[in-house]
């Protein structure tokens, strides 16, 4: 009668894991940890809750996988924007900065998602390790771009410090722009970020090419 077992298709481990991770990210962004329950995640991914424990050791394990996925995607997006365009060092750095300070990278949903993860840092050492890895990954890209500027009279230590400072500007502005999007019109945050990074590095950064003329 009503007791029909739902039909399903067997799929690869890879696609199932990704579907579950994406579903977890969706729910975490929309409603935070309170909403991202095992049942809700499975439902969003089109499976039943039990399957999560078949691919992940537990909910914490899934959360960690989602965090790594999220952070690597953020960096990859900025890297892609940086790589897409003229090879001039200053133009590349300029694209890297501005792409981090506008949608889809700078977005309220990403902020709440990010804060949700950040909260798990101090209680979960493994999460902190993931954070360190991905943070260093982003900063290393930034540092390489700064080194490529070939500014005279700047050694490696200075470039490292400058990368930390620029990373701070970008993070902070990203935070503010995503927390209060209605407070900053148009590309205000991008321009402020560009000028601040330029001031810190003592280099004049060009405004990036507009997609829409």
Q: Which is nearer to DNA, 11 or 207 (CB)?
A: 11
Return the HEC string of 87-123: CCHHHHHHHHHHHHCCCCCCCHHHHHHHHHHHCCCCC
Please report how close the Cβ of residue 25 comes to DNA at its closest, in angstroms: 15
Instruction: Retrieve residue 169's tokens.
Output: 């500007």
Rounded Cα distance, 162 and 177, in Å:
22
Among residues 22, 37, 151, 175, which is the contact residue for DNA, using CB under 7 A? 37
At residue 147, the 3 state secondary structure works out as helix
Neighbouring residues of 178: CB distance < 8 A, sequence distance ≥ 6 = 106, 107, 108, 110, 111
Shortest distance in whole angstroms from residue 173 CB to a second copy = 4
State which of residues 31, 46, 89, 137 lies at the interface with a second copy (CB under 8 A): 31
* Smallest separation (angstroms) from DNA to the CB of 112: 17
- According to the binding rule CB under 7 A, does residue 97 interact with DNA? no
Q: Shortest Cβ distance from residue 1 to a second copy (Å)? A: 39
- Which of DNA, a second copy, none does 66 bind, CB closer than 5 to 8 A by kind? none
The one among 40, 74, 93, 196 contacting a second copy by CB under 8 A: 196
Cis ω before 104 (30° cut-off from 0): yes
- b/e 51-62 (16+ beta carbons within 10 angstroms → b): bbeebbeebeeb
Q: Name the site residues for a second copy (rule: CB under 8 A).
A: 31-34, 108-109, 111-112, 115-116, 118-123, 128, 131-132, 135, 161, 164-165, 167-173, 175-176, 179-180, 183-184, 188-189, 192-193, 195-196, 199-200, 202
């Amino acid at each position: 009668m009503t007791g029909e077992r739902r039909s399903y298709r067997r799929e690869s481990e890879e696609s199932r894991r990704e579907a579950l991770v994406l579903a977890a990210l969706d729910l975490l962004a929309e409603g935070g940890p309170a909403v991202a329950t095992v049942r809700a995640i499975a439902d969003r991914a089109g499976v039943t809750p039990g399957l999560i424990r078949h691919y992940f050791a537990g909910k914490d394990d899934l959360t960690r996988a989602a965090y790594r996925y999220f952070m690597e995607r953020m960096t990859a997006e900025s890297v892609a924007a940086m790589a897409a365009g003229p090879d001039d060092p200053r133009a590349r750095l300029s694209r890297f900065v501005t792409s981090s300070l506008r949608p889809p990278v700078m977005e309220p949903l990403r902020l709440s998602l990010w804060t949700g993860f950040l909260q798990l840092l101090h209680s979960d050492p493994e999460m902190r390790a993931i954070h360190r890895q991905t943070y260093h990954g982003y900063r290393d890209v930034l540092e390489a771009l700064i080194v490529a500027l070939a500014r005279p009279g700047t050694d490696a230590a200075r470039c490292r410090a400058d990368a930390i400072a620029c990373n701070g500007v970008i993070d902070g502005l990203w935070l503010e722009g995503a927390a209060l999007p209605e407070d900053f019109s148009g590309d205000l945050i991008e321009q402020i970020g560009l000028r601040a990074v330029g001031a810190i590095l003592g280099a004049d950064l060009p405004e990036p090419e507009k997609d829409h003329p």
